[in-house]
Amino acid sequence: MISIICPTIAGREHWLERCEQSYLDTTSGDYEFVVLRNYPNCNTAWNVGIQTVEGDVIHLTADDIEAHPGWQEAGLAALAEEFLPCPRILNPDGTLQSCGDDVLETPDGTPSQVARIPLFKRDWVEHFHPFPEMQYMGDYWLTAKCDEAGIPTLVIRDYLFTHGYAMEGRLNTLAEDITKYHRELGR
């Protein structure tokens, strides 16, 4: 089973509805879509979700993410090859938001420093859980800790999503979170 964990906060219901519908339309087989409401930050919600879900595979998303057809197959194929899939992410207008480490189109198999919108095996959780308490940088944390454990992150272009980058209720803690991330990693 795939456990899809989706944090949200009040005021973002329309984003959550679109997100959940996209997963309903693109996910097959045995899965659960778990919504965690009104946690103080994304990483806290992901920490709680990881402890409560049942799947052998866990997918961390957000309420302003929309999954594209094929995401599940591409992601599971990456896990079968023992690496974290790094997605290709589009803006709502269809332009590229990221593919690998930046905004350039990157070919499949390119190493990446971040597995955005992470998908991983439950038995990999021991390498990165719990996430530090912060809004941002959870995907970087997961990627860095898995890399330390010998689990690489590679671009998989068919592991595809749209990110709405919704601003309602978005915390502006990125600068502090980057500093905390580096401090927590000892870098």
d(CA 117, CA 127): 17
pTM of the model: 0.92
- Asked whether the predicted pLDDT for residue 142 surpasses 90, the reply is yes
Check residue 13 and give its pLDDT: 94
Architecture of domain 2-185: Alpha-Beta Complex (3.90)
What percent of the chain is predicted at pLDDT more than 90?
A: 76
Long-range contacts, 124-127 (Cβ 8 Å, 24+): 124/149, 124/151, 125/50, 125/58, 127/151
Torsions phi, psi for 178 (to 5 deg): -65, -45
Domain boundaries, the chain: 2-185
Check residue 182 and give its pLDDT: 76
Q: Residue 151's CB: how many other CB atoms inside 10 A? A: 20
Inter-residue contact 184 to 140 (CB < 8 Å): no
- Asked whether the predicted pLDDT for residue 161 surpasses 70, the reply is yes
